[in-house]
Amino acid sequence: MPDINIFGINVIEVSFRWLHAFMVAGWLLFDFLVYWLHFDVKNPAVPLEARLERAKIMHGIDRIVAYIFILTLPVGIILCYLTDNAPFSSTWLTWKHVLYAVIVIDGLCLIPISGTAVRNLKAIKDGAENVDELNHEIKHHMNIAMPAVFVVWALVIAISVLTLLNLKQPEDQEYFFRDASVVTTVEQDRS
Amino acid sequence: MFVVYLLWVTFVAGGLFMGIAAILFMQENGFSFAVLLNAVLYLGIALYGLPKLYKFVFKRG
């Protein structure tokens, strides 16, 4: 890939770094919005129209989160090769990929229960007779999704911290937030 | 529906890519527990997603 340098900055590499960081920030932000909206959606005391409206917004935001989730891995892999770090070339990056795999597995648990709220609320609006049962299903599915959602947040934050602690400047490959001499000593001690 | 289709494609393609890359890395650089864990997890995701993707693409409706 050709290097496009402006004022000594590799534009492609830096753009991918920022894109990767913004994607993770956006993922967390949108996930918080969904979490905030879910309280009204699962509450039968809130008017049906308001619940349905919030559920649709929630579903729309969830779709953005899904796209971010889908793009995170390819963008990360491209970044690995742009920065000359093959996916398993360093210990921290290898563990980061392990954590991401756990997030994917977590996501797999959430897929079967996504979409319940919109579907059930539409059924209630259309005059379904088993309103209590449909409301209970919405609440039940949202409550069992919560631990998985919290695990995703914890892992995304853990991955971000891990990345920040191992972030290097593009030019001379010095760590941003760590003393390189100390890191070298520790790594030498291990070997 | 498109996003769901894309999700399964990503799970299968991403899982296979990362899993095979981990195995190849170990073949070249020797055993590592963390890399093995990557191989197991990602290949597991791909294997889990493969029948789901097949069903989604060929047996819809």
- Residue-averaged pLDDT of chain B: 90
Identify the residue among A104, A106, A108 best suited for mutation to test binding to B, counting B beta carbons within 10 A and taking the highest: A104
Report d(CA A132, CA A174) in Å as an integer.
60
Q: Does residue B12 carry a pLDDT above 80?
A: yes
Residue type, A82: L
Q: Which of these, A30, A18, A13, lies nearest to A163 by C-alpha position?
A: A18
Distances in Å between the Cα of A64 and the Cα atoms of A4, A28, A59, A60, A126 are 30, 11, 9, 7, 28
| Interface with chain A: mutation pick from B5, B12, B18, highest number of A CBs within 10 Å | B18
* Average pLDDT of the residues of chain A: 85
Instruction: Find out whether B38 and A94 touch, Cβ atoms under 8 Å.
Output: yes
- Is the pLDDT reported for residue A174 higher than 80? no
**Contact, A98 vs B38, CB < 8 A?**
yes
| pLDDT of residue A154 exceeding 90 | yes
Burial A151-182 (b: 16+ CB within 10 A, else e): ebeebbeebeeebeebeeeeeeeeeeeeeeee
Residue of A nearest to B10 (CA): A70
Provide DSSP, A114-162.
TTHHHHHHHHHHTT-S-HHHHHHHHHHHHHHHHHHHHHHHHHHHHHHHH
Question: Quick one: pLDDT band at residue A181, thresholds 50, 70, 90?
Answer: low
pLDDT tens figures, A99-124:
999 999 998 888 878 788 888 999 99
- Rounded distance between C-alpha atoms, residue A20 and residue A143, angstroms: 30
List residues in chain A touching B: CB distance below 8 A: 63, 66-67, 69-70, 73-74, 77, 86-88, 91, 94-95, 97-98, 101-102, 104-105, 107-108, 111
pLDDT value, residue B24: 94
Residue A1 has pLDDT above 60, yes or no: no
The residue-averaged pLDDT of B14-22 equals: 94
CA distances, A170 to each of A8, A14, A119, A130 (Å)? 10, 8, 48, 60
Contact status, residue B34 vs residue B18, Cβ threshold 8 Å: no
| Rounded-to-integer distance, Cα A54 and Cα A130, Å | 21
Angle at A1 between CA A13 and CA A172, to 5 degrees: 45
Q: How much is the pTM?
A: 0.83
% helix, strand, coil for chain A, step of 5: 75, 5, 20
**Is pLDDT at A175 greater than 90 in this prediction?**
no
- The answer to whether the beta carbons of residues A33 and A59 sit under 8 Å apart is no
Query: Which of A94, A105, A107 lies closest to B38 in CB terms?
Result: A94
Do the strands A9-10 and A5-6 form a parallel or antiparallel pair, or are they unpaired? Answer: antiparallel
Residues 5-34 of B with CB under 8 A from A: 6-7, 10-11, 14-15, 17-18, 21-22, 25, 32, 34
| ipTM rounded to 2 decimals | 0.91
Task: Examine the pLDDT at B28 and tell me if it is beyond 80.
Answer: yes
User: How many angstroms separate the CA atoms of B47 and A33, rounded?
Assistant: 32
Contacts of A169 (CB under 8 A, 6+ apart): A175, A176
Confidence of residue B20 (pLDDT cuts 50, 70, 90): very high
CB-based contact A98 B41, cutoff 8 Å: yes
Selected for mutation to probe chain A from B32, B35, B56 (highest A CB count within 10 Å) is B35
